[in-house]
Amino acid sequence: MVLKRWKRYLTLSSKSLVTEMSVSIKSEHEIELMRESNRLLSIVHRELGKAIRPGISTKDIDKMGEKLIRSFGCTPNFLNYDGYPASICVSVNDEVVHGIPSKHRYLKDGDIVSLDAGLIYKGYHSDAARTYAVGSISPEAQKLIDVTRQCFFEGIKFARAGHHLHEISNAVDACARSAGFGVVRDLVGHGIGTSLHESPEIPNFRQKTRGIKLKPGMTLAIEPMITMGTDDVEWLEDDWTVVTADGSLAAHYENTILITEEDPEILSLEEDADPLTGIIIRRA
Ligand code: MF3
Ligand code: CO
């Protein structure tokens, strides 16, 4: 989600009391609905991941995703969100997030492509993103993809009851910096539930404050956006597509998670994924 400067000011000036009070705690029943929403989304990602190849248009990816989401009787939550014109955000190379699918934009060998998708199941939202290689890519680009995913897993080591939100931010930042990569500051992760974007905002970069205390039943979308160069981003003329200011490659990895007393539950990851890396080790 886009970081709103006025909202950030409000959060800071209220010493996080307002934020803390407004973070929703899901009931067991709501958690079941969040699980199902995200399970269905993980299937969407699995199918879209299989379709990635040189020659496919970004619009075809969007159409395939929307069809699958509707086949589950669900609604794409990105479509018409603030006027966003598609169901799947497809962002290529230096595009960080919110790329608009186009029938004139074809993926080519050597590209990297980030797919961000979400859906609504019985009123409950899911949100997840993956970055894929198109054909064969450079070792540096592969490292960017791998480190971005690793940043998520480093971050969620602190996503447990009793820890503070910004421990996640600091761990994501440290992971990216130690690889020499940039961290996008103008977009953040977010709470999620009956709305796509709920409190709190979840920065991916180092924070001076501790942030709110995490409690069981919070559902959060953690989404590192990492670049091979600068932290700075720009918006294209379409007012949506976010690109790196220096034209360097960017990757995005996101899951919706549930805070528990123990390890977090990664709701948008298939059960047969490696819990440490998120890599699918077996497929049904
Ligand atoms: N993961 C993205 C976000 O949290 C998805 C939003 S795309 C939009 O900002 F089109 F809905 F904005
Ligand atoms: Co998100």
CA of 240 to the centre of ligand 2 (A): 14
Asked whether residue 199 carries a pLDDT value surpassing 50, the answer given is yes
Of all protein residues, the one whose alpha carbon is nearest to atom 4 of ligand 1 is 1
- Mean pLDDT value of segment 139-159: 98
Asked whether residue 208 carries a pLDDT value surpassing 90, the answer given is yes
pLDDT bucket at 195, cuts 50 / 70 / 90: very high
Residue 81 CA, closest ligand 1 atom number: 11
Residue 78 CA, closest ligand 1 atom number: 11
CA of 254 to the centre of ligand 2 (A): 7
- Mean pLDDT value of segment 7-35: 70
Average pLDDT, the chain: 92
Q: What is the pLDDT of residues 121-137, one digit of tens each?
A: 999 999 999 999 999 99
Q: Tell me the whole-structure pTM to 2 decimals.
A: 0.93
- Mean pLDDT value of segment 260-278: 83
For residue 151, give the H/E element and its range. helix 139-155
Residues with CB under 6 A from ligand 1: 1, 78, 81-82, 84, 89, 98, 116, 127, 129, 190, 223, 254
Domains of the chain plus CATH, in order, are 5-266 (3.90.230.10)
For residue 175, give the H/E element and its range. helix 165-178
Our mutation pick for probing the ligand 1 site, out of 78, 195, 241, counting the most ligand atoms within 8 A of Cβ, is 78
**Ligand nearest to the Cα of 82, by number:** 1
Q: What pLDDT sits at residue 280? A: 58
Count H helices and E strands in the chain, helices first.
6, 15
Q: Which two tokens stand for residue 99?
A: 């790329």
Residues with CB under 5 A from ligand 2 (ion): 127, 221
